[in-house]
């Protein structure tokens, strides 16, 4: 940028396109949008104006074509600047699968990449194409067209869905059925609801209303695989679906065979070959054959629904206390804790008499229950606990990790810990060596790449500086702002000094570029 004008340069700051445009955008398919005198056009990477700046608005090139706007109307140009579709449409999307929906005088149609109207703008609505077909609407009725614009199913149904290439779910007089492309009835109009979402090749259907109707499943041909006999049904997952009958739940397989009978008050998905079940307020577990491996005797199986057993153990609740069982139902750790969490990395957090500690899988307390809060950092292999507002670290054996002299500290990565001394912050490495002195009002690690430091001035305004992760100072603490780049420009930063963007720095090489 020079003044209020923009141009384009290479990564090594060689100016390719002079700063003469009011606005520029990134290149897309070899062309970039530019604005000159309030109008938009396109340039190539040599700076040549492929399309003059004559349009009121324009969009990036997508699929070889770009939307342009002139006098409030939309058209399309190709990459040579040729107007493929005239600026006559009220609305248009970007091209998808070589076709795009357009609106003209309130009616919808479809054009191809040559600008030809494949589907005339005669419809009230045109849906997206899927497998070469799209649903259309006309005068409140719906039908189906193909990509040539041919009406496969006439617009005479209340609603219609493309169930598969040769099968269509149609709604007529508040009933659902299925027809083929010749309009032959494959499944009579008998369903009151069809869940259009398929789960593992099967779709839920219902006969009757939502409250008293019965649920079943059909396949992609419309064949009824599971009769409509259940009070409720859930999607299939892992080959099983939860169903309800007479206010009890169980599981069926994709052939409709009962795997877990509908005799439980609640049941959760299988995880590791086990599913949590509830009966009369008590919890247990069944295996994939439906056998009750762990009887329903626990007050509550207090573990995450999506991961019932964590590292081979599950949290259970008995007489107001928590403990752990294995997959055979054996009580590995007695129900003695007020709260217990899942095992993670061989350890679990537990709470006893309002205080937090950590146990291993034998039940041994590695960290005693005497802290206000705590966490186990699996990546760093250490415990962090808090007592009376002060934090302390322990290793996996429960041995304290000293941070002598510091009033506060926080691990931000395996190698870096933020520390406070006399109200000022710095960094130490994993050996405890101070790599950034405690001279700053705040320090952080943005994007995990650098150490950013800041000092608050007498006017309340912060200034910023930059270190690398070894503690080498890259930029002194005099910047108003530091901007970080990602992707191809990772490692580059831009700095603002005295309220002006002053330049760039390649932190990998130390090379600096100053704006003028």
Q: Give me the pLDDT at residue 272, please.
A: 76
Q: Is the pLDDT of residue 345 over 50?
A: yes
Q: Is the pLDDT of residue 428 over 60?
A: yes
Q: Give me the pLDDT at residue 307, please.
A: 46
Residue pLDDT, tens place only, 16-38: 888 889 998 888 999 999 999 99
Residue pLDDT, tens place only, 83-108: 999 999 999 987 766 889 999 999 99
**Token reading at 419:** 């520390």
Q: Give me the pLDDT at residue 432, please.
A: 78
- Average pLDDT of the residues of the chain: 89
Cα distance between the two ends of the chain: 9
Identify which has the larger pLDDT, 56 or 407: 56
Q: Give me the pLDDT at residue 378, please.
A: 63
Q: Is the pLDDT of residue 305 over 70?
A: no
Long-range CB contact pairs, 63-72, < 8 A, 24+:
63/94, 63/95, 63/96, 63/98, 63/113, 64/29, 64/95, 64/113, 65/95, 65/113, 66/31, 66/42, 67/92, 67/94, 68/40
Residue 300 DSSP label:
B
The predicted model gives 218-230 an average pLDDT of 91
Centroid of chain to Cα 324:
33
Q: Give me the pLDDT at residue 270, please.
A: 86
Confidence class of residue 400 from pLDDT cuts 50, 70 and 90? confident
The predicted model gives 355-363 an average pLDDT of 96
Q: Please state, for a pLDDT cut of 90, what percent of the chain lies above it.
A: 53
Q: Give me the pLDDT at residue 516, please.
A: 54
Q: Give me the pLDDT at residue 52, please.
A: 95
0.85 surpassed by pTM: no
Centroid of chain to Cα 36:
38
The predicted model gives 315-338 an average pLDDT of 90
The predicted model gives 68-77 an average pLDDT of 96
Q: Give me the pLDDT at residue 306, please.
A: 36
């Amino acid at each position: 940028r020079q003044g209020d004008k923009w141009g384009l340069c290479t990564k090594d700051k060689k100016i390719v396109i002079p700063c003469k445009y009011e606005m520029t955008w990134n290149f897309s398919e070899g062309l970039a949008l530019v604005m000159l005198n309030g109008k938009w056009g396109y340039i190539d990477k040599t700076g040549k104006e492929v399309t003059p700046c004559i349009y009121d608005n324009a969009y990036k090139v997508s699929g070889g074509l770009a939307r342009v706007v002139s006098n409030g109307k939309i058209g399309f140009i190709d990459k040579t600047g040729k107007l493929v579709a005239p600026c006559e449409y009220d609305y248009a999307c970007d091209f998808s699968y070589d076709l795009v929906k357009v609106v003209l005088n309130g009616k919808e149609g479809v054009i191809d990449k040559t600008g030809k109207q494949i589907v005339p703008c005669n419809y009230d609505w045109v849906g997206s194409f899927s497998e070469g077909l799209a649903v259309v609407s006309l005068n409140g009725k719906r039908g189906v067209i193909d990509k040539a614009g041919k009406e496969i199913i006439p617009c005479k149904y209340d609603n219609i869905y493309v169930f598969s290439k040769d099968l269509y779910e149609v709604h007529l007089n508040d009933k659902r059925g299925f027809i083929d492309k010749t309009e032959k009835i494959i499944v009579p109009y008998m369903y009151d609801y069809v869940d259009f979402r398929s789960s593992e090749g099967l779709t839920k259907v219902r006969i009757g209303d939502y409250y008293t109707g019965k649920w079943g499943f059909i396949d992609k041909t419309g064949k009824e695989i599971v009769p409509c006999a259940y009070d409720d049904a859930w999607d299939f997952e892992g080959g099983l679906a939860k169903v309800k009958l007479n206010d009890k739940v169980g599981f069926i397989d994709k052939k409709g065979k009962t795997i877990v009978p509908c005799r439980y008050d609640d049941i959760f998905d299988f995880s590791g070959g086990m599913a949590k079940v509830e009966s009369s307020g008590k919890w247990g577990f069944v295996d994939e054959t439906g056998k009750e491996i762990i009887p329903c005797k626990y007050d509550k199986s207090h573990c995450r629904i999506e991961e019932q057993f964590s590292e081979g153990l599950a949290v259970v609740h008995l007489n107001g206390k928590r403990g752990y069982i294995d997959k055979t139902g054996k009580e590995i750790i007695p129900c003695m804790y007020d709260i217990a969490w899942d095992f993670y990395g061989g350890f679990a957090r537990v709470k006893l008499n309002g205080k937090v500690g950590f146990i291993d899988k034998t039940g041994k307390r590695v960290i005693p229950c005497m802290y206000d809060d705590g966490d186990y950092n699996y990546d760093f292999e250490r415990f962090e606990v808090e007592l009376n507002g002060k934090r302390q670290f322990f290793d996996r054996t429960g041995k304290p990790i000293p941070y002598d002299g510091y009033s506060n500290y926080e691990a931000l990565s395996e190698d870096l810990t933020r520390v406070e001394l006399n109200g000022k912050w710095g960094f130490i490495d994993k050996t405890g060596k101070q790599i950034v002195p405690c001279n700053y009002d705040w320090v952080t690690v943005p994007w995990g790449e650098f150490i950013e430091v800041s000092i608050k001035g007498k006017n309340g305004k912060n200034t910023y500086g930059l270190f690398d992760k070894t503690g080498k100072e890259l930029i002194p603490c005099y910047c108003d702002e530091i901007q970080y780049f990602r992707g191809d420009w990772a490692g580059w930063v831009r700095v603002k000094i005295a309220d002006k963007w002053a330049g760039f720095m390649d932190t990998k090489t130390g090379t600096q570029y100053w704006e003028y």
